[in-house]
Homo-oligomer: A and B are copies of this chain.
Amino acid sequence: MVNISLYDRETPTWCPGCGDYGVLTALKRAAANLGLDPAKTVLVTGIGCSSKINSYFYSYGIHTIHGRAAAVATGIKLSNPELEVIIAGGDGDAYAIGTEHLVHIARRNLDVAYIVMNNQIYGLTKGQVSPTSEEGFVTITTPYGSYEKPVNGPLLALASGATFIARGFSGDIVQLTQIIEEAIRHRGFALVDVLSPCVTWNKINTYDWYKANSYQLKDHDPGDRNRAFQILQDDKFALGIIYKKEEKTFEEKVYRKYVHLPLKQLEVDRSIETIYEEFR
């Protein structure tokens, strides 16, 4: 097994106590357990506190623009399916401005894992309401409480066709490591929603609150899609692997009839003469 320090990069600048530290640790451990080669791994992020994670995790990394990590990752993975592509970001990044890409990456069943660090708040921009904030939640942009029902990210992903759905908690790094490992190992699109407290701006959804408002899935068959829909509608957050199904991945389908062009082979077949007939 690889030593997890292989994945050390910069020292995080997250606030002391931020849930994202737990995610980083779990990700490193999962990577070590899987023996991921940093040179063959790409960590793709959007913008937000959480999206800085690739500054702290040693591998290829691309920190893109807000909400678009899934689209960039799609281009990367399709271009070189041999890469391990992991997406990470915040709840705003994934479930607000990135909604569109989440839905469509899920239905494509692209073989990537997407880790959403869900703190139910906008961290980096200093505490505005997030799509996952509870109704009534008071923030600087919702001084009278939020008027919106929260987006249920995992439910959305499931409804969109994701083949792996799990929820973890930064406070439980052991389980989170397992989940992330499974998600990366899963062949197909895997969404991991992580309850990851923002200790600075969200004084409601704290570690303790999450402990009190979550429960461990027991005796659950992740193959049961109907049950997964139900679990995801629970008032409390279920922790663990909620849904898992093997299906052909997007890359497999796209390249079904054709040999994938290995990336290294940069001299490609550039002939076009055979097409000329169309134009005569």
Query: A: which residues have CB within 8 A of B?
Result: 96-97, 99-100, 103-104, 107-109, 131, 144, 147-152, 155-156, 158-161, 225-226, 229-230, 233, 250, 253-254, 256-257
Contacts and interface: CB of A to CB of B under 8 A. Distances in A.
Nearest to A152: B159
Shortest 5 CB-CB contacts between residues of A and residues of B? A159-B159, A147-B253, A99-B100, A100-B100, A149-B161
Contacts of A159: 152, 155-156, 158-159
Contacts of A108: 147-149
Contact of A147 (B103, B151, B161, B254): B254
Contacts of A97: 100
Contact of A226 (B104, B225, B230): B230
12 contacts: A97-B100, A99-B99, A99-B100, A107-B131, A107-B149, A108-B148, A144-B257, A148-B250, A152-B161, A155-B159, A158-B159, A226-B226
A156 B107 CA distance: 11
A254 B143 CA distance: 12
Contacts of A103: 99, 103, 151, 156
Contacts of A104: 96, 99, 131, 148, 151
Contacts of A160: 151-152, 156
A229 B155 CA distance: 11
A250 B109 contact: no
Residue in A96, A131, A253 with the greatest tally of chain B CB atoms within 10 Å: A253
Contacts of A109: 149
Given A107-B149, A152-B159, A229-B229, 6 more contacts: A99-B99, A100-B100, A147-B254, A148-B250, A156-B159, A158-B159
Contacts of A230: 226
A248 to B, nearest CB: 9
A148 B109 CA distance: 8
A158 B104 CA distance: 17
A131 B160 CA distance: 11
Contacts of A155: 159
Contact of A107 (B100, B148, B226, B256): B148
A169 to B, nearest CB: 22
A90 to B, nearest CB: 16
Nearest to A232: B159
Contact of A150 (B107, B149, B225): B107
Contacts of A225: 233
Contacts of A149: 107-109, 161
Contacts of A156: 103, 156, 159-160
Contacts of A250: 147-148
